[in-house]
Amino acid sequence: MKSFSRATALCWLLICLLAPALHAAKAPKKSKKDQVVTISTSQGDIRLILFDETPLHKANFLKLAQSGFYNGTTFHRIIQNFMVQGGDGNSKDADPNNDGMGPQNDVTIPAEIRPEFSHKFGAVAAARQGDIVNPTKASSSSQFYIVQNHNGTPHLNGGYTVFGQVISGLDVVDKIAAQPKDMRDRPTTDIKMMVKVEKLKKKKITELYGYKYE
């Protein structure tokens, strides 16, 4: 009976000692690299990173960017002291009236709203349809906006998925927001974008742009 108790105690001791090691082995290693997205416009370049904590939005944006989908789309809606919005495939055609409407039966992305990501200056967030037709707050398949208000837009927190942050070119966001526009907040001169993705070491991103990873 004593030998059985000792054996049991020894087993439990081994389990307790091995558990942290097994847990550490299962934990995924964080990548030392990240993608920097560059949006080139007539007003200059905007560079941003996308958050790992919003994986569906990050993967979707990178897929569209790397496929060339965003090339030739425009910032079709600009409101100074608020935000600039773009990324609608409709903005590539010659009809300005359908800009921002998106495709019919748009395939949406489930919301990934996280409290740690707020609508601060330079935040990148997904556009979406309103709550009446979209109570789950699902995001547009391609349209996004960048917060241009230097004090942020906190009233949008919790309502839209913030999935990235501008790390360079905030002055360009300001320039885009200040362009002449019509009554629908559409720029009177198209502000087209070209988008590319570059993979860099996180250390290099911090050195170049001052962005600090948690």
Q: How confident is the model at residue 6 (pLDDT cuts 50, 70, 90)?
A: low
pTM: 0.86
Pairwise pLDDT comparison (212 vs 16), residue with the higher score:
212
pLDDT at site 176: 98
Q: Is the pLDDT score of 3 beyond 70?
A: no
pLDDT value at residue 30: 78
Average pLDDT over residues 53-58: 98
193 or 27: which carries more pLDDT confidence? 193
Q: Residue range 151-157: average pLDDT?
A: 98
Residues 201 and 214: their CA atoms lie apart, in Å, by: 15
Mean pLDDT of 157-184: 98
Place 214 in a pLDDT band, splitting at 50, 70 and 90: confident
| Exposed / middle / buried, residue 95 (Cβ in 10 Å: 0-12, 13-18, 19+) | exposed
Sequence-distant (≥ 6) Cβ neighbours of residue 89 within 8 angstroms? 69, 73, 102, 103, 142
**Span 81-96, pLDDT tens digits:** 999 999 998 898 888 8
Chain segment 135-146, per-residue pLDDT in tens: 999 999 999 999
Write the pLDDT tens digit of every residue in 21-38. Answer: 444 445 567 789 999 999
Average pLDDT over residues 178-187: 96
The answer, yes or no, to whether residue 18 has pLDDT greater than 70, is: no
Chain mean pLDDT for the chain: 89
Which pLDDT tens digit goes with each residue over 97-115? 888 788 888 889 999 999 9
